[in-house]
Structure 1
């Protein structure tokens, strides 16, 4: 077992646990934070991917495309199932809107990871080795979070005008 594979597994498990927990719990909605996470993951993913010496093949591109479509679809679904609530007591930043996707959102993470592992296995047998790169994993997660952010940003309850996101209305 290679060091990169072990690192990928550990990063994947840590992210699934962290994001699954965040999906299931009510959290104050911060429109800038919903965009910050995918941006940071994408930047780190691009930097790591730029350091990869693996040759990109047509098989890699096909499998990355399939994975991108699936992850964006799951992200859009997560954004659409997000629930909002208004709390009476604002947090230290004055926010009163909370959001979560609940257990269905956590289940979608498990589905996304299972599909990703399946694509990695099949792609690996067909010669798509870029799928197992840490940079690729981070870019895929960034795509998922960005797709989710697009939908949530448009759905922020209207009574919280100051908590609006980055998207133009």
Structure 2
């Protein structure tokens, strides 16, 4: 029993356990960021999208799933990425911005000027995205499109979500820089 690979030892649970762990970690990290005020560095949202996208693409390549790419799998992945980006746009619009209190008296070139918090509504949108992803995964499994069920594609979906939010936050902060007295949520 101790010499068995994890997938044989745990049976079907061993096949989905890595995906469950990845999803739990991503939910915890993004949930924490959604509910707390944090300094808004213009590059940070894009960095997280690039890192998650790189890891997701790497997992797809390393696990040999590129060979499983069919036209249906490509179409499903495109739909997932569009849903992910759209939910990111909504999350970016729901994010509340406020002037960063610690920025006063610091170098205006390097100090963050804004703080951001997605709040409960943004977290609910993210959880909704994950529920849609589960539904897509179940439909893909029933249709025999195993590519769409992998951990790598989940990370690509989250990367698209983060990129959508980053694009909106970038445009909102740029607009606030031009008109700092305007309401922060109205943009």
TM-score bracket, shorter-length normalisation: 0.7 to 0.9
More relative contact order, 1 or 2 (CA 8 Å, 6+ apart): 1
Pairing 1:46–2:63 present: no
* CA deviation string 1:16-74 (max 9, x = no partner): 12101211111111111111101111111111111232311222122212211211110
Among 71, 88, 93, which residue is 1:80 paired with? Answer: 93
Are the counterparts in 2 of residues 21 and 106 from structure 1 also a CA contact under 8 Å?
no
Unaligned 5+ segments in structure 2 are: 1-11, 181-187
Aligned length: 161
CA 29–83 in structure 1, closer or farther in 2 if over 3 Å, else same: same
Look up the SS of the partner of 2:103 in the other structure: coil
Please give the TM-score of this superposition, normalised by the length of structure 2: 0.79
Question: For the pair shown, which has the larger CA radius of gyration, 1 or 2?
Answer: 2
Query: What's the CA shift string for 1:78-121, capped at 9, x where partnerless?
Result: 11121111143339973341001111000011100000001000
TM-score (norm 1): 0.86
- Equivalent residue, structure 2, for 1:128: 145
- Measured on the aligned residues, the alpha-carbon RMSD in Å equals 2.1
1:110 & 1:2 partners in 2: Cα distance?
23
Name structure 1 gaps, 5 residues minimum.
162-169
Q: CA deviation at 1:2?
A: 5.0
8 Å CA contact 2:81–2:156 kept in 1: the answer is: no
SS where residue 133 of structure 2 aligns?
helix
Cα distance in 2 between the residues matched to 1:39 and 1:20: 19
Which aligned segments of 4 or more residues in structure 1 are displaced greater than 2 angstroms? 87-96
